[in-house]
Amino acid sequence: MGLCVAFNDNSVQNYSKENLSQLIEKRVGIETYCNKLGEISRHEVYAKAAKQPQIKAKHSSELLLEFEFCKLFKALEGVIIQALGVQRDLSNGISELSLSVHENALLLQYKELIRDQDKKLQDLQRNFNNVQREKEQLENQTSELVQRNNELVDQITLLKAQLATLGGTSNGTTTPAQNSTASQTNTGDLLERIKQLEKENEEKDSELEKIRKDQDDLLELLTDQDLKLNSFKSRLRELGQTIE
């Protein structure tokens, strides 16, 4: 009956699309008919057959439906429900088909929003990884500079001890005091570099914290949008729409 409505060219007056729709409305009810039609695709036997292109059955009782029928049924289910929806207006004046189009438009908006948010989340993840690598590099550089600074401090201490022993001389050659001065200069430069790196580390830590917060906010938003999307999908399925 549903196929007769969907593919009716209205060439026979008494069996036009409108007449057949009214017949279903009076005998069964459009809503009841659509619900019963939807129950087929939700049945366990249908779900099992739709996943098996090759027929596999241990008993003849399992051969109720087969893959090609399920495929054809799924393709025509929405067509039939839409064809019936064209004939019936809801109390607010919006047809079921129009309502489905409206719902689909909202669904597409949510899908687009989720895609955009997912892209933003991926960009933030890449930025987070880059900042994390930079932070690790800075920490390694700082560790190396601290180690070098400790070595120079040890050298300065040793030179001072040698100066105290030798008393220091000026014979035109490089003296321990000169070595000590150079070492102190190098140490000062290294300490300044360490302070700079520590400051950069603090800035990176602050940036990482901001990125983590943004990620948490986005994840929360994505979860909320996903719930709304599932709600719309359920409503569309109730109206007989095929959701990919």
Terminal Cα distance for the chain, rounded: 26
- Return the DSSP state at 174: P
8 Å CB contact between 89 and 95: yes
pLDDT tens digits, residue range 74-105?
A: 888 888 888 887 444 433 444 444 445 555 56
Instruction: Say what angle helices 30-42 and 67-86 make with each other, to 10 degrees.
Output: 160
pLDDT at 205 over 50: yes
pTM exceeds 0.75, yes or no: no
Record the tokens describing residue 228, joined without a space.
């709304």
pLDDT confidence of residue 91: 38
Q: Could you tell me the residue ranges of all domains in the chain?
A: 2-88, 111-238
For the stretch 116-138, pLDDT in tens is 777 877 777 787 777 778 777 77
pLDDT at residue 90, rounded to an integer: 39
- Express as a percent the part of the chain with pLDDT over 70: 55
Task: Give me the mean pLDDT over the 195-222 stretch.
Answer: 70
More confident position, 156 or 55 = 55
Average pLDDT over residues 61-76: 82
pLDDT, position 98:
44
Per-residue pLDDT of 6-52, as tens digits, reads 888 888 888 888 888 888 888 888 888 888 888 888 888 888 888 87
Residues 58 and 190: their CA atoms lie apart, in Å, by 80
pLDDT tens digits, 161-192: 666 675 554 444 555 555 556 556 666 666 67
- Which of 7, 70, 5, 2 has the alpha carbon at shortest distance from 32? 2
